[in-house]
């Protein structure tokens, strides 16, 4: 799967939530997500711009997700994403440990999912980082249509601000490094 | 989990199946299993005596399994085994590929599971290798009790022959190397 998404920092999620209601967005429910990120034994994911994580969610089974390097030349963030649901997150973490992967950081957030035609929207309150809106294109779109859908949705939502290309993991690690 | 098991080559599985019926063993069903084994980017599992595989079964969800080095000093084979069920085996293989793991061999077999007190028994017809009986101790047993349970079960089944400490993967790779 090729993931196209935009992330924008907002002062308050309440205004975005109100706008979503106005637009008749589908409310797909809120959840808490805890992401445990790992680094590899044979390379530094920080340098290769890859990510490997186990996600624990209040709503679903645990998931193992790999994200490839971000692709250049898009305003929105685009990268390969591969994911499987696993029946036991702790055992998955143990297997990664045996293979030499090391947990490097945790991202904890409250996330509220919404859907508009062509895009899904997440309102995120991230522990230690603040409030963000993530707009992700529907997976069935071509890359060009996906980028257009993301840009259109951001405009419709009326969220000012630049697209942040850093992941929450990168933002947290960079915050830790400057503390 | 610590896995204790014995594997014995047999001429025919029919005699063992008859003996299991005599003993009133629980029939846990037959399945086909296809195991895809991977080697690591940072070490050679053949040398470290580890194994990583994705198993596809006619009966269950796909599983990712890691096996640690075989422990010395047991007649039966003993090693750490960690396993998770995944909702999509092909995606799991793709993630492993992105992480640098390379598929090295496939083991295909028909397997018929039975249970006796303290042990589970698998009758295996392995493509390219022949017929085998695997006796695995119940996971809740201590290592000492597990070894005793395996030895007792093998005796009860009346299967002559040495315990084979090689895995099917090792047997297949060694057969390929001598061809």
Q: What is the ipTM metric for this complex?
A: 0.82
Q: Which residues does residue B2 pair with via DSSP β-bridges, in sequence order? A: B80
Mean pLDDT confidence for B38-65 = 94
What local confidence, expressed as pLDDT, does residue B4 receive? Answer: 83
Q: State the average pLDDT for chain B.
A: 91
What local confidence, expressed as pLDDT, does residue B75 receive? Answer: 56
Euclidean distance between CA atoms A65 and A51, whole angstroms = 8
Query: CA torsion angle for A174, A109, A154, A79 (degrees, to 10)?
Result: 60
Structure tokens that stand for A83 in this block: 């994911």
Calculate what percentage of chain B has a pLDDT beyond 70: 96
- Structure confidence at residue A161 as a pLDDT band (50, 70, 90): confident
Q: State the average pLDDT for chain A.
A: 91
Structure tokens that stand for B92 in this block: 């799991």
What local confidence, expressed as pLDDT, does residue A70 receive? Answer: 82
Nearest to A68 among B82, B88, B98 (CB): B98
Mark yes or no for CB contact A66/B98 under 8 Å: yes
* Contact yes or no for A10/A132 (Cβ under 8 A): yes
Q: Within an 8 Å CB–CB cutoff, is residue B99 touching chain A?
A: yes
pTM, full prediction:
0.82
Chain B residues in contact with A53 (beta carbon < 8 A): none
pLDDT at position B1 over 80: no
Q: What are phi and psi of B72, to 5 degrees?
A: -80, 160
Nearest to A100 among B42, B84, B91 (CB): B42
The full DSSP string for A115-172 is EETTEEEEEEEETTTEEEEEEEE-TTS-HHHHHHHHHHHHHHHT--SPPP-S-HHHHH
Residue with tokens 């999620």: A13
- Structure confidence at residue A1 as a pLDDT band (50, 70, 90): low
């Amino acid at each position: 799967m090729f993931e196209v998404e935009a992330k924008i920092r907002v002062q308050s999620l309440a205004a975005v939530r109100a706008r979503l209601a106005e637009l008749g967005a589908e409310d797909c429910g809120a959840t808490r997500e805890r992401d445990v990120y790992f680094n590899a034994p044979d390379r530094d994911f920080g340098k290769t711009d890859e990510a490997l994580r186990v996600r624990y969610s209040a709503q679903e089974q645990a998931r193992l997700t790999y994200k490839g390097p971000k692709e250049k030349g898009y305003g929105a963030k685009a990268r390969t994403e591969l994911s499987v649901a696993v029946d036991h997150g702790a055992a998955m973490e143990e297997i990664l440990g045996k293979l030499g992967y090391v947990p490097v950081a945790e991202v904890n957030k409250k996330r509220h999912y919404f859907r508009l035609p062509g895009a899904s929207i997440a309102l995120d309150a991230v522990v230690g980082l603040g409030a963000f809106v993530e707009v992700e294109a529907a997976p069935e779109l071509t890359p060009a249509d996906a980028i257009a859908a993301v840009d259109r949705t951001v405009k419709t939502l009326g969220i000012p601000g630049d697209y942040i290309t850093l992941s929450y993991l990168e933002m947290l690690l960079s915050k830790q490094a400057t503390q």
